[in-house]
Amino acid sequence: MRSNYRNNIDDALSIIGYGRWQIPFFALTFLIHCLVPIHMMGSTLLSVPLPFRCFSSTSVPLEATSLLNSTSLTSQPPAGTYDSECGAARQNVSMPASPLRKTDLSSCSYVQYDHSVFPSTVVSEFNLVCERSLLRPLFQMIMSLGVLCGAPLGGVISDKYGRKRIIIGGTVVNMIAVAMIASCPWYVVVLFSRCLVGLTVGFFVLPSYSLAQETTPPRFRSQIGMLIGLGFSLGIIVLAGEAFLVRHWRHLQLTAASLLLIIIPLACFVEESPRWLSQMGRRQEAADALKRAARRNGIAITPELVETLEKLTAEDENSDDVLAEGRGNEKPLLRFRNLFDKCRSYFRYPGLRRILCVTPFIWYLQTLLYLGILLNANNFTSNNPFVYVALSGVMDFIAISLTTPIAVRVGRRCLSMALYLISGTLLFLDIAIPAEMKRLKWVLVMTAFLLCAASYQVQFIYTPELFPTVIRSRGFGFVNGTGSLGLLTAPLITDLLVQEVWWSVNVVCGLAGLIASLLVSLLPETRNLPLPETLQDVEKRLLNTRNLKGSEVTCHPRDRRPPQHGSSFKYAV
């Protein structure tokens, strides 16, 4: 009977339309998406590896004036390469004068950083150089780990206690964690706070998106999903501008996260989702909320709306069964065994088995490709990472704006294959371009990112269409979770592997694009085909693909409508 409640709410929302009542929900979700870049890719501008020179304890002169002129030192090579031999003497490299700092590193007793671009970063403040350089990628990885754990946990909590409560709680804890990062003098506590930040990001991103979509009439959900996704692109651009003006990493952390001062009061102002209220058995509250929505949108309480709300509030003999479905009264061991049996049964179907085996790898590779290019700002241009980050946001904005309508009219499979293939190829071509041809290198990398972001957007439309309705949400959540493992892998490549091989980022990300293109070719096309309702429908689609060789399949007109899940949710799990 849960589907009946959903249909009644969708019917009511269709009558109410989109207006003043939904604007706070959209504004809240949009601002949250603008906030996410400082957490998801803030390490690009917070933990920048600065050029440095090392002094041994025996080579430090007594007078401060002679410290800067000492020739018995090691120095970091030019931008784009790294000094992995901190204890070995190297030829002196010209660097702006800056004070020496004593460290507890055996290979670098005293260190001098180049603060000409950044006055302070996580790397320079905690001396994450030489033998401690392995701790540098943890700043990004620990946050990604928090997101991986927080997203599924946040989904469970929001389903039980409501979207509004977890958004308020998550944003408040997030603000406390940000304050700890910006003020704590110990790196271990900073890492703990970053993990807490990632955990709370998972708490409020998915519930806020659900809140916005659950209060939107069905015919507007694709457009609203796209506009919400543009908030992430705008957040990247704004972050680059803030970093250009505020160079100190602690000040930048506070400045970029100041959106929380708007988000928290707004989260307290919005109402709870009527759909969640109805699922929890509070159908009278849901009906009252929809009546307030109609009045706020200037819609008269028509007999049709009254009849729809009466259906919503009517007691149903199976309502207790509906509520019991979400309570999880089974024992944990029995629940796990049932889940395992279901998963094993899915692999008995050849068509679904192929989808379950291929799509997680595609999502992992595309996340690695997307975040790898974003986090590579300091390796690509050490003097002006702000322009790199800003242009990345612009490319992402363009990709979302153009790809969503194109994907509705063009085959998803062929479009994804082409975007991945060209993006990976451009990254390989960038290796062959001489360093002197900077403009051409910028064009290649930014175009590769544009295509990567576009392919990411296509997957948010394509992947849900592959799964049958009976497991569509679970299947989409599964591939999102496995794809988010790329958040953990990308920092290892852009921060550690690149120290050994300067072209490693291009090769790894380029291969990710090429392999993803090959994997997409194993999946069926879904354009102009009815959405599969059952597992048998997936198998029939596979047989039709083999036998009809791409011929047009007749489907009901309602199945030809654009799907209602075209958001840009690049960090969901």
- pLDDT bracket for residue 548 (50, 70, 90): very low
Q: Residue 190's pLDDT is what? A: 93
pLDDT for 345: 65
**Residue 562, number of CB atoms within 10 A of its CB:** 16
How many percent of the chain have pLDDT more than 70? 78
Lowest mean pLDDT among 293-307, 316-330, 385-399, 484-498: 316-330
Mean confidence (pLDDT) of the chain: 77
Reported pTM: 0.79
Residues 6+ apart with CB under 8 A from 551: none
pLDDT attached to residue 382? 60
Task: Tell me the average pLDDT across 455-462.
Answer: 83
% of the chain at pLDDT higher than 90? 19
Would you state the pLDDT for residue 92? 46
Spatial separation of the C-alpha atoms in residues 204 and 199, rounded to whole Å:
9
Q: pLDDT category, 266, cuts 50, 70, 90?
A: very high
Q: DSSP states of 454-515 as a string?
A: HHHHHHHHHHHHHS-GGGHHHHHHHHHHHHTTHHHHHHIIIIIIHHH-TTHHHHHHHHHHHH
Per-residue pLDDT at 472 exceeds 80 = no
pLDDT bucket at 328, cuts 50 / 70 / 90: very low
- Spell out the residues 6+ positions from residue 131 whose beta carbon is closer than 8 angstroms to its own: 86, 105, 106, 107
More confident residue, 205 or 73: 205
Count of other CB atoms within 10 angstroms of residue 245: 10
Q: How far apart are the first and last CA of the chain?
A: 28
What CA–CA distance (Å, rounded) separates 498 from 375? 12
Map tokens 């990411």 to a residue. Answer: 456
Q: What is the pLDDT of residues 30-81, one digit of tens each?
A: 999 999 888 888 888 888 888 888 877 655 544 333 444 333 333 333 333 3
Which domains does the chain carry? 1-48+134-329 (1.20.1250.20), 51-116 (no CATH), 334-573 (1.20.1250.20)
Question: Taking each helix axis from N to C terminus, what angle separates 221-245 and 187-214, rounded to the nearest 10 degrees?
Answer: 150
Distance CA 535, CA 367 (A): 28
pLDDT at residue 512 in the model: 92
- Cβ burial of 52 (10 Å; 0-12, 13-18, 19+) is buried
Q: What is the pLDDT of residue 337?
A: 58
Amino acid 566: pLDDT: 46
